[in-house]
Structure 1
Amino acid sequence: MKAIHKIIITGLMLFIAGGFIIGCSSTKHKYTSATTVGEEFNIEKSGAQLWGEACNRCHLAPSPADYNDTDWSTISLHMRVRANLTEHDINKIEEFLKSAN
C-alpha cells in the first residue's frame, strides 16, 4: 500500500513540476525594465510614474520638497539597491525629484 502511494505522489509531483517548467520556458514576454509597459508598445514611464510606483511599494513616498538635491542623490543611491531598480529608472526618478524640488 505504501509503495502505491509513493508512486502516485511521485507522479503528481512530476506532473506539477513539468507544468511549471513548461509554463516558465514558454513565456514569450520579456520585460527587462520597469520602464516598459509592453514589449509591442515600448512606452516609457515618466520619472514621476516610476517614483509613485517604486517608492510606494514599501513606504509612503516622500514629497520632492522634503529633501534637497544632494540628499536626493544619496537617497537615490540607497534606494536603487534596496528597491532593486535599474540605473535608468533611478536616474529618471532622481531627475523628477530634483526638478520638482
Structure 2
Amino acid sequence: MARAQAWREAMPISYAQEVSLTCPRCRTAFTARVWLVVDAGERPDLLERAREGRLHTVTCPHCGHEREVDAPVLVFRPHPLPFSFWERGRGCCRGRRGWG
C-alpha cells in the first residue's frame, strides 16, 4: 500500500493539453490549457470548475472573450469508492454525459 501511495504522489493523474486557438472576436492566436483527465482528490479546484460547467471555458488574453472548447473529460474520484464522470466532446457525441 505504501508503494502505491508513493507512486501516486510522484506521478500526477490529472492531465491537460495545450491547444492552439484563435479568438473569434479579435482574431488573436493564443494557447490554452484544456484538461482531459481530472483526479478530484488531486485537483479539487478543477472538480469545482467541472461541476460549474466551466472546465473547458477559455479566455482570450487580448480581449477577454470567453468561449467553450469542445473536448472530452474524465473526472476520477478515488474516494470513498472509485467513481468517475466522463463527458464526451460535444462535436463527436452530441454532448452526452455519463456517470460510472
Structure 1 length-normalised TM: 0.23
Q: Which has the higher helix share?
A: 1
Larger RCO (CA within 8 A; separation ≥ 6): 1
* Rg larger for: 1
Structure 2 length-normalised TM: 0.24
